Structure formats: C-alpha cells, structure tokens
Amino acid sequence: MRRPARRISRGGAAWLSLVLLLTPVPAGAGPKIVQDILDNGLKVVAVQDDKSPVSTIQVWYKVGSRHEPQGKTGLSHLLEHMMFKGTATVGKGEYSKTVARHGGTENAFTNRDATVYFQKFAPDRLELALSLEADRMTNLLLDPAEFELERKVVMEERRMRIEDDPTSLVVEEMFASAYKVHPYRHPVIGWMEDLAALSREDLVRHYKRYYVPNNAIVVVAGPTDPAEAIAKVKAAFGKIPKGDVPVETAVQEPPPLGERRVKVKKEAQLPFVFAGYPVPRVGHQDEYALDLLAQVLAAGKSSRLYKSLVYEKQIAAYAAASYDQMTSQDPALFYLYAGVKPGVRTEDVEKALYREVELIASQPVPEKEMEKAKNQVEAAFILGQDSIFNQARQIGQAELVGVGVRYIENYVANIRKVTAADVQRAARDYFSEDRRTVGILVPVPPKTKGTEPGEGKPSE
Amino acid sequence: MSRLGARFARFLAVLILIGIVAAGRAEALDLPIKKLVFENGMTVLLLERPSLPFVVVDAKILGGSLYDPDDRPGTASLTASLLTQGTASRSAIDLAEALDSVGASLRSSASDDFASVSLTVLKKDVQLGFEILADVLMNPSFAEGEIAREKAQIQAQIKSDMDDPARIADKLFASLVFKNHPYGHPVEGTEESIPKIGREDLAAFYKRYYKPNNIVMAVVGDITEEEAIEIVNARFGRWAFRNVEAPAIRSVPKAARVVKIVSKDLKQATIRLGHPGIRRSSPDYYAAYVMNHILGGGGFSSRMMTRVRDEKGLAYDIRSGFDAGLEPGAFSVSVQTKNETAPDAVEMVLEEINRIRKALVSEAELADAKSYLIGSFPLRLDTNRKIASILSSVEFYGLGLDYFETYPRRIDSVSREEVLKMARKHLNPKNYVLVIVGKPDASRLP
C-alpha cells in the first residue's frame, strides 16, 4: 500500500481485516450491475448504487508478487509506488494533487495476485478520474531519480511494517515455508535484499508487460447509470492498444510431506503462533464448508476458539481462524493463530488451537451452531453493502480470480446448502499434522536498556 | 516511453484542464437529521436511511478516561468494556450467543472523552438488538469473574504494546506533554493502575456517569421516527434522570521542552514531536485545521510529506495533527525513518514548522487545501456506520445539527492571514516534547 493507514492493533489484525474485506456481498437486494469487455480486452463492471453522493473507481491489474521472478520480489509493489510519480502529461505528484483538488481521495494496494488503484470522488468527476487512470496505464515516466527515492521509501515501509513488527515477521516466514515452489511464497513488499537489487529496467519490463487493457479490470460504482459509466470508460481507455500478456502456466505446489516449523527469534514480550494449511481456493466444492468451518471457529465471542482459548482457559490474548479463498491459484491457506498470554506455554496454546479443529472432525457441529454461523454470514453480507467501496472491491476480486459477479449473487444460497457433515469432512481432510506449516514467535530478551533522557539535551 | 501517440496525451490534458472548477460540493449531502429528546433527558439523533435492511446505533456516554479517578487510570475503559460482559439477567456467554445467533454486533469501549456502545443489527432483529443494548447500558452486573478476566486481558495487551514502537512513543509522548492531566495516561490504564481497580470503583463510576441525560444516541438506518420513539420509550423509558456532576479537570500543563529517547533494538526510529494544542470547541479550530492540512495533515500534498518523503525518501509516513477534544489535546508530528536519518527528519520537521510560522502560505496552497477539505467531506460520511459514529460526537462537542451544512462555509472562510496567525499561535518550535523510540544518533539531534 502506498499510503499508510493508521496502524491497526497487533496480532495479525492487519492482514485479517483484509481477508474480511474480501468476503463477498449478495446482490439480491442490491445494486444494478452491468458488464462489458472493450475491443482492446479491458473488462468493465459498472455498479449503480445511489445510497450516497459518492463514486468510486478501481483499476485492477492482474499482476502481483506471484508474477515476480526469483530475486526480484517487491517489483509489483514498487511499481505501484512509481505509478504516482508522473507521466508524460501529469507531472510528479500532480496525480494526487489533481484528485485532492477535486475533493477526491486516492490510493492503491498490491497483493499476491493483483495491483489495484482506486479513487473516491463526487459523481460528476467520473471522467476526470478515468482519464487519470487511462493516462498512467500507458504513459508512465519511471524517472530514474524518482525510482531511487521511491526504493528508499519502500525500504522504510518494509522496516515499519515487517522488520520492526515481530508478528508480521512470523507471517512472512510462515508463507515462505508453506509454499515451497509456488510464488505465493514471495512477500508482497519484497525481501530487503531484492529491493536493493531491483533496477529501473526491471520496472519498465514489468510495466510494459502487465499494464495493458487486456490484463485489467475497471470497476465503476456509484449513482451513475451503468450504460453512461461504460461509455465513459470506453472514451477514456478505448484507444489504448491491446498488449501481449504472457500466457499463464499454473505452478503446481507439491503436497506437503510432513509438518514444517519455522521460528522467529526476536525481541518481544509475548509469543505468537500462526499455523497454515493448504486448502482449495474459490470454486472448489469444499469452499463453502471451509468457510463455515472458519466461521464456527472464529466468528464472534461465542465462537469456539474465543470461548475456549480466550474466555474459558484464558491462555490466549486472542485466537482466531481465517480462510482466504479469493486467490487466483491453488492452494489457498487456512490459518489458525493465537497470541499467547503471559506465563502460558506456547505449546499449550498451539495444542488448544488444533484441538478445536479435531473436535469438529470427530463430532459434527450441532444444527443450532450451524444455523448461527449461516446467519452470521448472511448478516455480514447485508452489512457489507453499507460501503460502496467495499462492494466494488468484492466485485473486482471476484472478477480477478475468475468467478465473476454471479459468484457473489449465489454466495449466500451456497452457504445455506452446507451440512454439518460437509464441515466435519473438511475438518478431517485438510487439517492433519503433516499438512501444516507452523510459525512461532520466540521472544528473546532485549539487547538494549529502557528509557533514558537524551544526552546533552537539557530542557530549555 | 509511451505506447500511445501525442494525440491521446493532448486529449487527456484538455480533459484535466476542463476539470478544474469548484470541487464537488457538500450540498449533495442530504442528511435530514432529527433530534429527539426524551423525558428522562436522553438525546437521540435519528437519520432514516431505509435503503438497506439494518440499523446502526452509536451511544456515547460522557464518561471517558478524562474522568478517570486520579489514582485509578483505566477505570472508565474497564467500566465500558464490562458492560457487554454480563447483565443482571444474562451472562457474558448468553450475550454473545444471542447477538451472534442473529449476526448482530455489540461493542463497548472508552476513549479519552467518551465511553461508547455501538450496535449493528438487521432490521428484522431490531427489537432484540435494542433490548440487549438497553440491558447492557442499564443493568451491567460487573461480575468479579468477568472483572478478573478483563483485567488479565488488559495486562496482556499492555505487555504486547511494548512490542509496538508506535504505541511506546504515543504513550510516552502523552505522559510528557500532559503530565498529571488525564490525557497523560493511556485510556486502558497502566500495568500499575489496573490491579488497583476493584468492583466498587467500577460500580461507582458507572453510577455516577451512566445516566440517560448523559448519553447521546445516534440511530441510523432502516427505522422510522415513530418506530424509534416507540422503541426508545419501551426500552429506556424507566431509566430515571439523575443529575451528573462532572469532575473538575486540572488544566493542561504549559509547553516545555523535553527530549526522551527510548533505546530499543529496532531498524527504524519512531518519532513524535509536539505540545499541547486546542479544544474542539475552540474558535480557532477550523483555521488551525486548514493550517495543519497544509503543514502535515494533507496526506500526499502536505509540505512535510513533500519534503521528507517525496524529495528525500526518508520516510514512508509523516503526518501532523491537532487531537482536539473536550480538553486541549496535543498537536503532534509523527514520522518513522531509519535510525541514521532520525536527526535529519527532526530537523526538517522543525524547519517546516518554522516556515509556516514565518510567511503566508501561497494562494494556490490555500485554495487546494480548501477544495480538498470541502470536496472530500461527503466521502467521510459514505456509510451508515461512519455517519452514526460522527453524529453523537457532533452533539457532544456542541457543533450543532447544521454542522454538515456549515462545515464547507467555515473552511471556505479561512484566509491566508488566519493560517499564519494560527501557525504562530498554536505551533511551538522551541518548547516541544520530542520522543524517539529506536537507536538514533542522539548527538546529532537539534
């Protein structure tokens, strides 16, 4: 992400919130959605929703850290930063200034599968917003001096987000171990060593290869009539020529042969456990059962992990599970994680996490609990429509991973079909010890001492 | 460089040029807010938004950590968080089951100025939602077992905060700026204060501040005025008015220069620089807000961001702000940079503060700031949840129900001279608190 949001509370909450954002909404009661594909291959989805006098556009490029060659991790994210550094017609910093001057806000984010640029603005500024995005799809300068500066900025971002945050280091290490072959092992922000080695030419190549209309999805959401919105997208992007997008060859991750464990030794107060299991992504028949498994384990204070680890045993400061199925390739990961309470042994917390999944594998979830979980999913759907930005994001994500808007429309109905036996089977099939990768934060004592006044700096 | 010919580029430039007219105006905001005051003194701010079948309630209670007893920081926060941990007729588990079963959420917490309880519930379950909301506000049990559990949770959180350089810096900064003033202690209390807080402290705090006449409740969503009146009368009607006596708050200390370094084995230095600022009710608020936007509040276009990030590549994030509350909260600048460049970042921050105190901002800078602040105002209110949480603050800070209409005018009326005046009056480049967490080279600090 190019611009920092206020830091979210610790313990993996930052990436968890991302997962929650991606939960799709149903379209039943919802907005009018029209789709089109332009002659140059650009996919357009227009969503009409006039709850608020606000529009949003999002440009989704199908390029993320999984497209980066060995030794060049961080390329997509650094390119995201550079997209704000000027084109032939819109000078350095002018993009952001123009959007702000028109009362809009803008930002971008990169993940393993995609790089996404977004703006929020008053609906009468749609043309301007689109023209700025069309411009930088094709006219980016990638000025060498700006590149050197931005590399430094991203290194600062890495220090802040990852290197000085012990739990983020565990997440990064766990991913790098859980995927032995698949490039999902790459950290989105890139390894520090790779960031130092990237060249401007790497960025130029990446930009030319992936920033083409037939590798992008534009989502427009707001009060504008969909036909009008699509016409405006066409006017802004229609003349950009098609590019040659490299043909995708899916990388097959070999099955795990036994449990993998990684430790991060770092100055920290409390240990942290983060376990991941390879599971199918969106579109697989077990998807909805896995979704409900995560729900039963971790949704709300009556969920099993909270009740058992946090409330009853009081061995964890927080405990949760999460399934992020909206990935472009297999396998996705299902996570279990917990923050260890002071004075508690890490292995006891780890065992307690696994035990809750084992319980579901051995005894079907009672009907009432299944019903509760489904109600929670349905309510979250309706509440998710509160934000037009969120809706646009869900649609973009569904398009990106190839399941489209229909997936969102049918989501609740599909969740409703899942039985307790399905959930039990999922808990049995995917959660054996041999399939998991476990990341553990092992706190080490501080190297330096605590507070001291700045020397030679008396109060004035 | 570009794959497209000049034709496209020219077309684009023209579009942008045409685009520069007045910013998207907040007039587009249609917020017919109704203020309902009930017999027992409870204020309800209602906004009917029937487009989606759910209701958001945000109840704020004038009883934040500002009112913590001197020797028991954390009392307000513990009181608020225990509301949802059991009532006279429902255990904590009962509450969680009842809410989760219908996919509702109910959260309670405290901040500096307020305690708040917020509910999100589907339209079809709105009766149940309000019944539980009333139950937790009117009949909390403060069970000993739940208190012990919550205190252990807070202690674990305080411990894990010590791994977060931003939290360490924020806490130390507040304690140095505010000393004994209640803004000086963390809302959640401290390692030392939490064990001292007992059931009787919580019961006493609750009894003193949790009164209908001390609450403002924003209700936004699929609910009519009639329904809202009926439901509030039915659920809260028996809750009796009682005078609430606000405690005397000592005044905020004068600005004084203090420099503290928390030496920690980190890659980056986390920096906070600032001093006491202004109240939300200050007549200077809007002009100071515009001034700060230009200085360091305005995301990518601010002077500090341009200088420290865009021109030097020293930081990912730099921002400044006035934390204006019921009391004069701090003006502060936050920035992180690798340890070696910490002194340079501090120097640039001080130079920018001095610069905005020395000369008028340019016409263009002021115009850009205004058009952003006015034009983006509706974006801050684009969900029911955002509206609900802002409404109750509007009432408590005395901003008036016409706040949403007057805001653009107030921003628009700020002049360059006022910006300069605000910078001179409310920024202090000499008597500031500077906190750095990391391993900076202290000898190079200004």
- Summarize pLDDT for B107-143 with one digit per residue, the tens: 999 999 999 999 999 999 999 999 999 999 999 999 9
Residues in chain A closer than 8 A to B313 (CB atoms): 148-153, 156
Residues B425, B314 within the same domain: yes
- Please give the residue of chain B at the shortest CA–CA distance from A296: B100
Check if A126 contacts B (Cβ < 8 Å).
no
> Is the pLDDT at B10 greater than 90, yes or no?
no
Bridge partners (DSSP) of residue A121 are: A55
Closest CA relative to residue A440, chosen from A355, A310, A349 = A349
Instruction: Specify the amino acid at residue B210.
Output: Y
3 state SS of B274: strand
CA A251 – CA B129 distance, rounded (Å)? 49
Q: Give residue limits of the domains in chain A.
A: 31-237, 260-443
Residues B45, B168 within the same domain: yes
Q: A31-237 — its CATH code?
A: 3.30.830.10
Determine, yes or no, domain membership for B370: yes
Q: Is the ipTM of this complex over 0.85?
A: yes
Query: B interface mutation test: which of A192, A451, A452 has the most B CBs within 10 A?
Result: A451
CA B412 – CA B372 distance, rounded (Å)? 11
Residues in chain A closer than 8 A to B122 (CB atoms): 379, 382
Residues in chain A closer than 8 A to B19 (CB atoms): 98, 102, 125, 127-128
Query: A interface mutation test: which of B160, B188, B441 has the most A CBs within 10 A?
Result: B160
Determine, yes or no, domain membership for B389: yes
Residues in chain B closer than 8 A to A3 (CB atoms): 299-300, 317
> Is the pLDDT at B26 greater than 80, yes or no?
no
Q: What pLDDT, on the 0 to 100 scale, is given for residue B2?
A: 30
CA A335 – CA A15 distance, rounded (Å)? 11
Q: What pLDDT, on the 0 to 100 scale, is given for residue A454?
A: 41
CA A371 – CA A407 distance, rounded (Å)? 22
- Please give the residue of chain B at the shortest CA–CA distance from A143: B1
Q: What is the pLDDT of residues B55-84, one digit of tens each?
A: 999 999 999 999 999 999 999 999 999 999
Check if B256 contacts A (Cβ < 8 Å).
yes
Residues B117, B208 within the same domain: yes
Check if A151 contacts B (Cβ < 8 Å).
yes
Residues B47, B89 within the same domain: yes
Counting the structural domains of chain B, the total is 2
Residues B122, B202 within the same domain: yes
CA B5 – CA A36 distance, rounded (Å)? 26
Residues in chain A closer than 8 A to B149 (CB atoms): 311, 314
Q: A260-443 — its CATH code?
A: 3.30.830.10
Tell me the average pLDDT across B173-187: 98
Q: What angle do CA B19, A59, A206 make, to 5 degrees?
A: 115
The answer to whether the CB atoms of A54 and B122 lie below 8 A apart is: no
Residues in chain A closer than 8 A to B263 (CB atoms): 448-452
The answer to whether the CB atoms of A342 and B155 lie below 8 A apart is: yes
DSSP designation for A324: -
Determine, yes or no, domain membership for B17: no
Check if B34 contacts A (Cβ < 8 Å).
no
Q: What pLDDT, on the 0 to 100 scale, is given for residue A260?
A: 98
DSSP designation for A365: P
A88, A303, A375: residue with CB nearest B2: A88
- Decide whether A31-237 matches A260-443 in CATH topology: yes
The answer to whether the CB atoms of A456 and B93 lie below 8 A apart is: no
Residues in chain B closer than 8 A to A166 (CB atoms): 163
Q: What pLDDT, on the 0 to 100 scale, is given for residue A30?
A: 61
Query: B interface mutation test: which of A8, A156, A382, A447 has the most B CBs within 10 A?
Result: A156
Catalytic residue among A68, A80, A356, A399: A80
Looking at the complex, report in whole angstroms how far the Cα of residue B228 sits from the nearest Cα belonging to chain A.
20
Q: Is the C-alpha dihedral spanning B120, B123, B129, B134 positive or negative? A: positive
The answer to whether the CB atoms of A269 and B160 lie below 8 A apart is: yes
Tokens 């909450």 -> residue: A13
Domain end among B236, B271, B305: B236
The answer to whether the CB atoms of B313 and A460 lie below 8 A apart is: no
Bridge partners (DSSP) of residue B105 are: B120
- Please give the residue of chain A at the shortest CA–CA distance from B342: A156
The answer to whether the CB atoms of A101 and B371 lie below 8 A apart is: yes
Query: Which of A266-275, B254-263, B435-444 is predicted with the least confidence, judged by mean pLDDT?
Result: B435-444
**Within the 116-155 window of chain B, which residues sit less than 8 Å (CB to CB) from chain A?**
120, 122, 149, 152-153, 155
Q: CA of B383: how far to CAs of A118, B52, B306, in Å?
A: 17, 11, 31
3 state SS of B430: coil
> Is the pLDDT at B101 greater than 60, yes or no?
yes
How many CB pairs (< 8 A) connect A and B? 300
Inter-residue long-range contacts of B359-364, CB under 8 Å, 24+ positions, other chains counted = B359/B420, B360/B416, B360/B417, B360/B419, B360/B420, B361/B291, B361/B294, B361/B416, B361/B419, B361/B420, B363/B416
Residues B51, B118 within the same domain: yes
The DSSP element (H or E) to which A266 belongs, if any, is: strand A260-267
The terminus-to-terminus CA distance of chain A in angstroms comes to 40
CA B442 – CA B260 distance, rounded (Å)? 10
Instruction: Specify the amino acid at residue A133.
Output: E
Closest CA relative to residue A218, chosen from A139, A282, A137 = A137
Q: What angle do CA B356, B305, A60 make, to 5 degrees?
A: 145
**Within the 156-195 window of chain A, which residues sit less than 8 Å (CB to CB) from chain B?**
156-157, 159-160, 163-167
**Within the 339-398 window of chain A, which residues sit less than 8 Å (CB to CB) from chain B?**
339, 341-342, 371-372, 375-380, 382-383, 385-389
Question: Which residue range is the domain that position B164 belongs to?
Answer: 34-236
Share of chain B above pLDDT 70, in %: 93
CA B6 – CA B217 distance, rounded (Å)? 57
Residues B263, B331 within the same domain: yes
- Please give the residue of chain B at the shortest CA–CA distance from A103: B375
The helix, strand and coil proportions of chain A, stated in percent and rounded to the nearest 5, come to 45, 20, 35
Closest CA relative to residue A26, chosen from A303, A395, A361, A285 = A395
The terminus-to-terminus CA distance of chain B in angstroms comes to 44
Mutual orientation of helices A346-362 and A420-430 as an angle, nearest 10°? 130
The DSSP element (H or E) to which B198 belongs, if any, is: none
CATH of the domain at B83: 3.30.830.10
> Is the pLDDT at B233 greater than 50, yes or no?
yes
**A5 contact partners, CB below 8 Å, separation of at least 6:** none
The pairing of strands B43-48 and B54-61 is unpaired
Looking at the complex, report in whole angstroms how far the Cα of residue B240 sits from the nearest Cα belonging to chain A.
31
The answer to whether the CB atoms of A103 and B312 lie below 8 A apart is: no
List average pLDDT for each run of 10 residues in chain A, which is 460 residues long. 39 31 44 94 95 94 96 98 95 93 95 97 96 97 96 96 96 98 97 98 97 98 96 98 89 95 96 98 97 98 98 97 96 98 97 98 98 97 93 96 95 97 98 98 79 38
**Inter-residue contact B251 to B182 (CB < 8 Å):** no
Determine, yes or no, domain membership for B242: no
Domain end among B236, B271, B297: B236
The DSSP element (H or E) to which A219 belongs, if any, is: strand A216-222
Residues B221, B135 within the same domain: yes
Q: What is the pLDDT of residues A51-98, one digit of tens each?
A: 888 999 999 999 999 999 999 999 999 999 999 999 999 999 899 999
The answer to whether the CB atoms of B267 and A164 lie below 8 A apart is: yes
CA A323 – CA A314 distance, rounded (Å)? 24
CA A229 – CA A22 distance, rounded (Å)? 24
The answer to whether the CB atoms of A300 and B96 lie below 8 A apart is: yes
Q: Catalytic annotation on A378?
A: no
Determine, yes or no, domain membership for B4: no
Model confidence, pTM: 0.91
Q: Is the C-alpha dihedral spanning A97, A102, A107, A113 positive or negative? A: negative
Determine, yes or no, domain membership for B268: yes
Instruction: Specify the amino acid at residue A403.
Output: V
> Is the pLDDT at B21 greater than 70, yes or no?
no
Determine, yes or no, domain membership for B24: no
Q: Per-residue DSSP letters for A53-88?
A: S-EEEEEEES--GGGSPTT-TTHHHHHHHHTTS-BS
The upper half-sphere exposure of residue B283, i.e. CA atoms within 13 Å in the direction of its Cβ, equals 2
